[in-house]
Amino acid sequence: MSDSILAAIIAATATLSASLLQLRFSIARELAARSQSPGSRKKSRAPFVVLFVMVGASAVGGFALSQWLTENERAAHGTIEHELRERVEEARRSESQLEITRASERAEVEKSVLNKLGIDGVVVMTMVGPCRPALVVSAPGTTAPPGVTAETAPQPTPSCTETEASTVALCAMIPTNATVSEVQLFARPTDSDTPWSDSQNRMTAGRESGQARFAEKYTETPDDRLGSKQVCQGFTHWATDRGRVARMTVRYTLKE
């Protein structure tokens, strides 16, 4: 039970108690008056009427007061509820705006990082060992020249051809909405420590250099699972004396 209703009940109870006390006094006076003349009995009915009117007025007044306090309390609760709803809606709008701002800032940061990476270039490297040629076996029935024995006969120098060598692929991962602006190709012996910027390590696509060759063109393959694409360049190395380290740098720009 709320405080307003309790206060109305107390006020109505107090009023009703006062009315009952007055009724008791009136009844006592009425009994005293009845013991007197019959004419005074008719005059004594007026206090009863007044008393009943007061009791009814007290009841009606208490009920009206209770209703008024209840309505005021409902109005106060309605105002508070309305304010709370407005605050909740405002908090939701603020949260949505904050999420949008965070997403926008995150997208800007990611775009900035990807742009810088595209300018610097994505670097991939691989090492290729010496080519292992197939063994040459003398045909059955062949004989060595006169005066030449198996010990003194010169051993054939093993060699590989480009068709015998295996081709490896260097692949760089770039964003799907990126456009390749430049692909730089490098290769140097595995035992070399010359800087990659040295001109002797630079290679041109499709041109042979030191028994090694990069493919004439690179290929682009989309990867829907990662939301990116691969830029791949083939590399073939057929030297038998030493291996090589191949290096590829892919630069790109993002589409607006």
pLDDT score, position 138: 47
pLDDT score, position 111: 81
Tell me the pTM. 0.54
pLDDT score, position 167: 87
The answer to the question of residue 20 being in a domain is yes
Closest CA to 63 of 5, 3, 1, 2: 5
Number of domains in the chain: 2
Looking at the structure, do residues 17 and 78 belong to the same domain, yes or no? yes
Looking at the structure, do residues 94 and 167 belong to the same domain, yes or no? no
Cα 224 to the center of its chain, rounded Å: 19
**Are the C-beta atoms of residues 250 and 174 closer than 8 Å to each other?**
yes
pLDDT score, position 103: 74
Looking at the structure, do residues 96 and 168 belong to the same domain, yes or no? no
Cα 94 to the center of its chain, rounded Å: 17
The answer to the question of residue 126 being in a domain is yes
The answer to the question of residue 222 being in a domain is yes
The answer to the question of residue 225 being in a domain is yes
Looking at the structure, do residues 70 and 127 belong to the same domain, yes or no? no
The answer to the question of residue 139 being in a domain is no
pLDDT score, position 137: 47
Tell me which residue has tokens 């080519």.
Answer: 131
Domain around 7? 3-101
Tell me which residue has tokens 């290679």.
Answer: 203
Looking at the structure, do residues 174 and 227 belong to the same domain, yes or no? yes
DSSP state of 79: H
In one-letter notation, the amino acid at residue 70 is: T
Cβ burial 15-36 (10 Å sphere, 16+ → b, else e):
beeebeeebeebeeeeeebeee
Looking at the structure, do residues 97 and 165 belong to the same domain, yes or no? no
pLDDT under 70 in the chain at which residues? 1-12, 30, 33-55, 57-63, 65-66, 69, 134-158
The answer to the question of residue 246 being in a domain is yes
Provide the angle, in degrees to the nearest 10, between the axes of the packed helices 45-120 and 3-34: 180
pLDDT score, position 65: 67
Three-state DSSP class for 161?
A: coil
